[in-house]
Amino acid sequence: MAVKEREFPIRILQNRALIKRLRKNHEVIPRVESDLKKISAGYKGERTVDYQLGFLEDKKYSIFHNIRIKVGTQYFQIDTLLMTTCYMVIIEVKNLAGIVRIDPQIRQCTRILGETQEGFVDPVSQVEKLTLLFKKWLSKHGFNVSDIEILVVISNPQTTIDFTVRPEIHSPYTKIIHSQNILHFITTLNKKYKHEIISAKDLNKIKKLILKHHSVLTSNVLDIYGIVEDEIITGVQCESCNAAPLPKVGTYWTCFNCSYRSKNAHIQAIDDYFLLMSNHLTNSTLRNFLHIPSRHAATYMLKSLNLKTSGIGKGKRYFQ
């Protein structure tokens, strides 16, 4: 059963907000759109795997979807971690369409899609490295686990996995499977590992530690794409045609371009501010971003949003 669910990737929301708030012909948009497509496909692939693992309802399984923890100063991210008292397995999910050609002898992976062919990082080496980091993390917290299983799941059922040479029986490359075979793989692990490697009490401690140390990656997308704040279109935006800044007419934000009216369009604008500009707002930054002249109107709006706050007076900060 799932101990931790997968968060919806904030980068998807950030890239969507960015596309909406840059002028239409901005040169960075194709890159933002292409990244958005990749991240969305990756998330979709991970959800396919989550769905399969959802059938493991037995309490003996502790499943973590997407954890990000650190050893020393180095963060590492695990797509899925499954633990029982008898074994642990780290699952790496790959969403790749077309043909995935793998040469297990020289650890080389190529993806062939139509006419194009491109190399990609060997997922087996990648997940082997994750097991080392996770073992190190466990040992730092006083738990020594000698063996961690690996699994690479190709989430797209239409993808062909093509080995240039058949991997030998004990080769880690036999651990590359399609998502529909996950449950079968777990059954084989249940047969292979019959002895406890960790007590139920320690497993519980590890679960709590992971939840405590997990931290969501927050990225500054303006930095990633080399965009300066001035390039971001400010103001409440029309939900129908994206025009901005919308004026408030009576109690409605009213579009000068398409006449669309909305009472709550400012909520999305504030979300966009948090996604793109900063993790906190003040009364004055809100007024600047939404083009509202009245300090009182801004205070009223901030109160209605039930945001977390710190400080008082003009320096009062609001957090999502």
User: For residues 13-52, which are near Zn ion according to CB under 5 A?
Assistant: none
The Cα–Cα gap between 141 and 182 comes to 30
Query: Which helix (H) or strand (E) element contains residue 31?
Result: helix 29-53
Asked if 81 is part of the footprint of Zn ion (rule: CB under 5 A), the reply reads no
Stretch that binds Zn ion, among 17-25, 64-72, 107-115, 242-250 (CB under 5 A): 242-250
Q: What string marks each residue from 258 to 287 as x (binds Zn ion by CB under 5 A) or -?
A: x-x---------------------------
According to DSSP H, which parts of 197-261 are helical?
A: 200-213, 221-224
Residue nearer to Zn ion on the CB measure, 217 or 258:
258
The Cα–Cα gap between 301 and 266 comes to 9
Angle among Cα 147, 148, 151 to the nearest 5 degrees reads 140
Strand blocks (E) in the chain: 2-4, 62-71, 74-83, 88-94, 99-103, 108-113, 116-120, 149-154, 160-163, 176-178, 248-249, 252-254, 261-262, 280-281, 308-310, 317-319
Place of tokens 């009213």: 254
Q: Can you tell me which of 243, 267, 297, 307 binds Zn ion, judged by CB under 5 A? A: 243
Residue nearer to Zn ion on the CB measure, 221 or 236:
236
Residue nearer to Zn ion on the CB measure, 240 or 309:
240
Asked if 257 is part of the footprint of Zn ion (rule: CB under 5 A), the reply reads yes
Asked if 238 is part of the footprint of Zn ion (rule: CB under 5 A), the reply reads yes
Asked if 255 is part of the footprint of Zn ion (rule: CB under 5 A), the reply reads yes
Stretch that binds Zn ion, among 31-39, 145-153, 205-213, 236-244 (CB under 5 A): 236-244
CB atoms within 10 A of CB 153: 27
Nearest-approach distance from CB 253 to Zn ion, in angstroms: 10
Residue nearer to Zn ion on the CB measure, 257 or 264:
257
> Contact positions toward Zn ion, by CB under 5 A?
238, 240-241, 243, 255, 257-258, 260
